[in-house]
Amino acid sequence: MLPSQPGYDVFGKEILRAYEIKDIVIKSLVRNGILGDDYTLGPTEQRDGRHLDMLYLPLDKFIESLAPVIVEVQKNRQGFYWSSDPLLFECIRCHRFIPHLVVISNAGFSSKRYRNTTFNKEENEPFYTHPCQSWAKSTKFYTPESIAIHMDKEPLDKMIALCHVFYAGKEYYASQKVALDIYSIDTDKIAKLFADTQSFCDTVECQFQKILNENDRKRQLKYAKDVVHFVRQFKRKCLPSTDECAVTSIESICEQQESEDLIFVKEKRRINAGRFNWNNCYSESRTEGLFQRYSSHTTLRKAFERETL
């Protein structure tokens, strides 16, 4: 699972490594037809031990015409801006060119006074710039406040969408555990449904095979009725009720048909007054080829009492 906090973590670093994200950042910064393909991923650990969130370096064939790009996902506090100078200087020392600096500030500025006295913002731009860029070719500071008025535009600018992902990352990934729990429950339900369906298919296939192998017409009819009865029971157990349906369905027609086993038991109970002998009933029915699904008169009686005969 990805960490919930953007910035110096797995989420921030991994998303910035993706080709599609690199392309978005480069296009928004360099423009003039320059693509993410014209840059490669650079080392994020510098020789002085400092770490960058991401460094994009131009390919060798563009090294004289394109500048490196540093991307930082930070809380834009006053201390960070001043500490960014050593990062920029180290990049210049290692790669010989002044880089661009892109900062996605996931918490805005530490104060309005700091923002107003240190940064500039053009009216229609979604980022702030710094008037003094001694160690950067250009600087762009994106904040939740600076992109807010651009969020409703259609189509949504890809760089603004990327910033929003970082800003909303905490809420999104905090809910990830809940989502995974829900998916786990659904996975269990799907597994059970698959097992039930497999069992249903195997049973029906076996019953129809018995019909195909049986030459006696009476037994074929009995096996067919057993299939109808089994399907009805399966649907009652596994599918939602369709009682609200106004049209008489095939299922309801089947439910009105009694199995041959049930007809036999009812007839015996009608003929034999007084205490009913289930053992005799079971023995007599077996000689006529009935009650094949029951192993004894006890299971036969339970099926009758549960109305599953």
pLDDT tens for 62-77 read 989 999 999 988 765 6
pLDDT tens per residue, range 213-258: 888 888 888 888 888 888 888 888 777 665 544 444 444 444 556 7
Residue 2 covered by a domain: no
Distance CA 30, CA 182 (A): 43
Per-residue pLDDT, 24: 95
Residues 160 and 189 in one domain: no
Per-residue pLDDT, 179: 62
Residues 48 and 135 in one domain: yes
Residues 22 and 67 in one domain: yes
Per-residue pLDDT, 115: 83
pLDDT tens per residue, range 130-149: 876 667 888 899 988 899 99
Distances (CA, A) of 235 to 67, 239, 291: 68, 5, 22
**CA-closest candidate to residue 138, choices 38, 279, 28:** 28
* Reported confidence tier of residue 157, pLDDT bands at 50, 70, 90: very high
Is the CB of residue 25 less than 8 Å from the CB of residue 69? Answer: yes
Q: Percentage of residues in the chain with pLDDT exceeding 70? A: 80
Residues 104 and 62 in one domain: yes
Measured from the Cβ of residue 78, the count of other Cβ atoms closer than 10 Å reads 14
Residue 277 covered by a domain: yes
Given a cut of 90, whether residue 41 has pLDDT beyond it is yes
Residue 272 covered by a domain: yes
Residues 193 and 288 in one domain: no
**CA-closest candidate to residue 103, choices 2, 3, 7, 4:** 7
Distance CA 23, CA 31 (A): 11
Residue 1 covered by a domain: no
Residue 232 covered by a domain: yes
Mark which of 148, 174, 200 sits at the end of a domain.
174
Residues 136 and 240 in one domain: no
Residues 29 and 84 in one domain: yes
Residues 283 and 187 in one domain: no
Mark which of 233, 257, 281 sits at the end of a domain.
257
**For the ranges 14-23, 190-199, 247-256, 261-270, the one whose mean pLDDT is highest:** 14-23
Q: Percentage of residues in the chain with pLDDT exceeding 90? A: 18
Mean pLDDT (the chain) is 79
Looking only at the bridges linking them, the beta strands covering 54-58 and 39-41 are: antiparallel
Residue 5 covered by a domain: no
Measured from the Cβ of residue 300, the count of other Cβ atoms closer than 10 Å reads 23
Residue 113 covered by a domain: yes
Per-residue pLDDT, 49: 75
